[in-house]
Structure 1
Amino acid sequence: MTLDDRPTRPATPADLLDRLRDSVRDGLPAAIADLSTLVRIPSVSWDGFDPAHVEASAAEVARLLTELDVFDTVVVDRVEIPGAQGVLGQPAVFARRAARGGKPTILLYAHHDVQPPGDEADWQTPPFEPTVIGDRLYGRGAADDKAGVIAHVAAIRALVEATGDPELGIAVFIEGEEEFGSRSFGALLAKHRDLLAADVIVVADSDNWNVTTPSLTVGLRGNAAFTLTIATLDHASHSGMFGGAAPDAMLAAVRLLATLHDDDGAVAVEGMRAHEQSVPAFDEERLREEAALLDGVRSIGRGEILHRLWAQPAITVTGIDAPSVQNASNTLLPKVSVKISARVAPGQDAREAFEAVRAHLEAHAPFGAHLAFSNVDCGNPFLVDTSGWAVDEALTAMHEAWGEEPRLVGVGGSIPFIAQLNDTFPDAHVLVTGVEDPDTRAHSPNESLHLGVLHRAVLTEAVLLARLGGAVELGAASRDGE
């Protein structure tokens, strides 16, 4: 489906739209204050960081949801990570209110955990001290994804203020470990399936075309991440005495990793496939600006840039365990471990892609190097069914809130749990929205949120909730859940 051939939907009544606009505008200072409170909590979900901060973040989210006074239940819960006996995942927050009058139920997802800040010297402001500079709020999690949490909270506030107690059913799932692989996500889904069941699922964890044009994400790459250990020696040896005859692990690793890409930088692994799809125009200059390419550095891969980002596989070495330059000695290393992140194009199973990468590495191991694979984590890609009525409703709400035609886009990053949501609730319509923009720098130093985007994202969701709650006659398909 394209924007040109989607069915025309009746507009939201002007008086209701005005009330929603007023409520969202008047509530924006409170929303920014609530977001700032969340950003001050360093809720990094990775091992090695204090889990008490994630617990504090979950408690604050639960407080915000409880104070809306619309939910029948608000619960904070954590469950055992599958395959890790006795190890609990990070706390997630759940809420639900029952639908009335035959109205549908909408599930609102976001996550309250964040990435590590990295080197604080790379930040222009303290990472966990929210700071407004111009029209942007800086801080770790200010956009990814605590702004998603606040978009849900603020939209519900505006809806209640503009329409009173809604008949729409609303469920909320605010996860606490999305940035660390959603390890207990499946177990949480299984335990709270009835609490989360919905007709429409909104995942507020994506981005927008720019700060004035909204996007609905309809395609996501999957991921296959793992640790690879390359070993060549039983113990370290003197590089002067044995270098030139005994192959060290670093040499083997460098040569092996180089085989993953061809001379253009495209993935050279047989069995990793691309997805055929058309993409909007996106020139090299925009890539250069948004990805911060240095002068003289050219892009990698082949084909349209957005096809490379949305629909082709990618492989990145994201970490390496080896002596630092400061601690380097004249030694042949016996083994080297690297973290590899493979992005999987829509249409290919992530486990199949991992096996293709494994087979490639084993076939190209130089000098007889020994390879070991561990910490394998696979998440499937996802394609949204754009023929569903809820997609039309989301696009209509975006247009009414932003005053611009929204874009249907793909995303190069991965949100593997969306495929799990779809498997658990196969009849639900999945909508992937977000509050990010090309300058957000999610996961990087100086992450920030454009406050105008937050304003319009909240209004979009408030309009969508109002429409699903009966403000507009949506037609038989949506009433019947078809």
Structure 2
Amino acid sequence: MSDHSIAETVAGLMPRARTELAELVAFASVADPAQFPRSECEAAARWCADTLRAEGFQDVSVFGTPDGTESVYGYLPGPQGAPTVLLYAHYDVQPPLDPDGWDSPPFELTDRDGRWYGRGAADCKGGFIMHLLALRALKANGGVPVGVKVILEGSEEQGTGGLERYAEEHPDLLTADTVVIGDTGNFRTGLPTVTATLRGMTVVRVRMDTLAGNLHSGQFGGAAPDALAALIRVLDSLRAEDGSTTVDGLTADQEWEGLAYPEDAFREDAKVLDGVGLIGSGAVADRVWARPAVTVLGIDCPPVVGATPSVQASARAAVSLRVPPGQDAVAATKLLTAHLEKHTPWGARVSVEHVGLGQPFLADTGSPAYTAMADAMRVAYPGQEMQVSGEGGSIPLCGTLAGLYPEAEFLLIGLSEPAAQIHAVNESVSPEELERMSVAEALFLRNYAASKGVPTG
């Protein structure tokens, strides 16, 4: 099979890919039953399973995981003696946030300005479509030269760890020589990139209680301990004056060695308002790829509209801590919990609930799989060389699989380049990136099989 024929096949499959992505985006598959009915996730899972069956996958199943969600699995046998590659994506998505902030309906794939807009278009329903395109291109050009396992997770965005625990309980299911995680993205549109590191993450809910009930702020304010004020004070203790993360006992001065992230590029990617400074110290890459970062995800408190003049008796917040490679997420959780308890003012009653946890990840970029991918990306992106970057986000399954299969190679690629605005309103995917990354993945599978001595036609 020639490089050109693979690229031609993928190009011809793009209209079908758009149709399928539109069908998949239409499911409001947010894995939080408090926000969306579970039936949306269940329908998305079955759509994925039906698609795998139609592609000739065997042993296709939709199975429940310990967190109450569902994952989808399928196996496509390869030639005798061929290596096995595990392809990962997730079909669950972030909630749409403010539906009125979208320029088009979040669960309706919409073409605009050369991109396809919709929740999950890049993160990570597009990742599944990328895998499908690569496999279809290979089948149309002599066959898939490796054994392929596909696993599609149903709760990655919630971080509740269902698939990680299931994998630990069924360690034979996802065994593979190489794992391709389709849930990251290029450093910049048109610049082929593999991700070498992921920060882990821990999420906690901290609650403050100070009074038996709310009180009139005029009658009691000034002496009655305000739970919301106590919460604000303890949350503020998690940052230094310059905005750096400060958790007692947690090292936060690591440095990134690799691809630089220019500050002006970061400001543009992050859409930082004019005149507003960045937080933290050190290079941008240090801050977002190599160091811990705390974020207040939400606070339960009265909204401004309808608020009464009251001293609050209770308040609660969700806090995440990103944990870089080299640090243990369990130990970091203990330090975060101890910090919150220590810095709680006025003797307020504080409770910390652990919600989710995932370990950081560091890939071996010197493995044969990286050579095969570098060659593939050089063809899919003419004139460009593969770049290696970090990723500040978390994919907890990576750490779990690396622990289960220490001999496996890991490649992290995907469609979530900065313009995709994943987790924000108006998420989108570049169809050109989808096409080129699908070509790159197909060529990688061919190259990887050849490196193992498997004839590829």
Structure 1 length normalisation: TM-score? 0.90
Question: Which amino acid counterpart does residue 244 of structure 1 have in structure 2?
Answer: G
Aligned to 1:19: 5
Which one of 136, 145, 148 corresponds to residue 115 of structure 2?
Answer: 136
Aligned to 2:423: 443
2:416 paired with 1:430? no
Which one of 164, 170, 195 corresponds to residue 186 of structure 1?
Answer: 164
Which one of 30, 38, 57 corresponds to residue 16 of structure 2?
Answer: 30
Aligned to 1:311: 290
Question: Which amino acid counterpart does residue 58 of structure 1 have in structure 2?
Answer: A
Q: Would you say the 8 A contact 1:103–1:468 is kept in 2? A: no
C-alpha displacement of 1:259: 1.1
2:195 paired with 1:217? yes
Question: Which amino acid counterpart does residue 20 of structure 1 have in structure 2?
Answer: I
The more displaced of 42-51 and 298-307 is: 42-51
Aligned to 1:4: none
Gaps of 5+ in 2: none
Question: Which amino acid counterpart does residue 187 of structure 2 have in structure 1?
Answer: W
C-alpha displacement of 1:22: 1.2
Instruction: Give the Cα–Cα distance (whole angstroms) in 2 for the partners of residues 270 and 372 of structure 1.
Output: 18
Question: Which amino acid counterpart does residue 457 of structure 1 have in structure 2?
Answer: M
C-alpha displacement of 1:270: 2.5
Tell me how large the CA RMSD over aligned residues is. Answer: 1.7
Instruction: Give the Cα–Cα distance (whole angstroms) in 2 for the partners of residues 60 and 46 of structure 1.
Output: 19
2:48 paired with 1:61? yes
Which one of 100, 107, 125 corresponds to residue 104 of structure 2?
Answer: 125
Instruction: Give the Cα–Cα distance (whole angstroms) in 2 for the partners of residues 277 and 39 of structure 1.
Output: 35
2:447 paired with 1:460? no
Aligned to 2:224: 246
2:69 paired with 1:90? yes
C-alpha displacement of 1:475: 6.1
Question: Which amino acid counterpart does residue 56 of structure 1 have in structure 2?
Answer: A
The more displaced of 204-213 and 233-242 is: 233-242
Q: Deviations over 1:106-148 (max 9, x none)?
A: 0000011111112211000010111011220000011110000
2:178 paired with 1:200? yes
Q: Would you say the 8 A contact 2:195–2:412 is kept in 1? A: yes
Q: Would you say the 8 A contact 1:272–1:344 is kept in 2? A: no
Q: Deviations over 1:145-195 (max 9, x none)?
A: 00000011111000000113x341111101111112143113431455433
Q: Deviations over 1:332-383 (max 9, x none)?
A: 1111100001111111001111111222222221111111011332211111
Aligned to 2:336: 357
For the residue of structure 1 that corresponds to 2:233, the secondary structure is helix
Q: Indicate the percent of aligned positions where both proteins have the same amino acid.
A: 39
1:382-421 matches, cutoff 5 A: 382-403=361-382, 404-421=384-401
C-alpha displacement of 1:418: 0.7
Question: Which amino acid counterpart does residue 419 of structure 1 have in structure 2?
Answer: G
Instruction: Give the Cα–Cα distance (whole angstroms) in 2 for the partners of residues 377 and 141 of structure 1.
Output: 21
C-alpha displacement of 1:55: 1.1
Shift in alpha-carbon separation, 1:337–1:61, aligned structure 2, 3 A: same
Instruction: Give the Cα–Cα distance (whole angstroms) in 2 for the partners of residues 182 and 399 of structure 1.
Output: 37
Instruction: Give the Cα–Cα distance (whole angstroms) in 2 for the partners of residues 195 and 369 of structure 1.
Output: 47
Question: Which amino acid counterpart does residue 450 of structure 1 have in structure 2?
Answer: S
2:183 paired with 1:234? no
For the residue of structure 1 that corresponds to 2:419, the secondary structure is coil
The more displaced of 230-239 and 148-157 is: 230-239
C-alpha displacement of 1:315: 0.7
Q: Deviations over 1:217-245 (max 9, x none)?
A: 00111111100001222222211111111
Gaps of 5+ in 1: 1-14, 82-88
Aligned to 1:106: 85
For the residue of structure 1 that corresponds to 2:172, the secondary structure is helix
Instruction: Give the Cα–Cα distance (whole angstroms) in 2 for the partners of residues 416 and 114 of structure 1.
Output: 15
2:304 paired with 1:286? no
Structure 2 length normalisation: TM-score? 0.95
Instruction: Give the Cα–Cα distance (whole angstroms) in 1 for the partners of residues 59 and 296 of structure 2.
Output: 43
Aligned to 1:255: 233
The more displaced of 300-309 and 397-406 is: 397-406
Matched positions, count: 452
2:59 paired with 1:80? no
1:1-12 matches, cutoff 5 A: none
2:308 paired with 1:321? no
Which one of 343, 346, 351 corresponds to residue 372 of structure 1?
Answer: 351
The more displaced of 345-354 and 460-469 is: 460-469
Q: Would you say the 8 A contact 1:279–1:307 is kept in 2? A: no
Aligned to 1:86: none
Instruction: Give the Cα–Cα distance (whole angstroms) in 2 for the partners of residues 453 and 167 of structure 1.
Output: 24
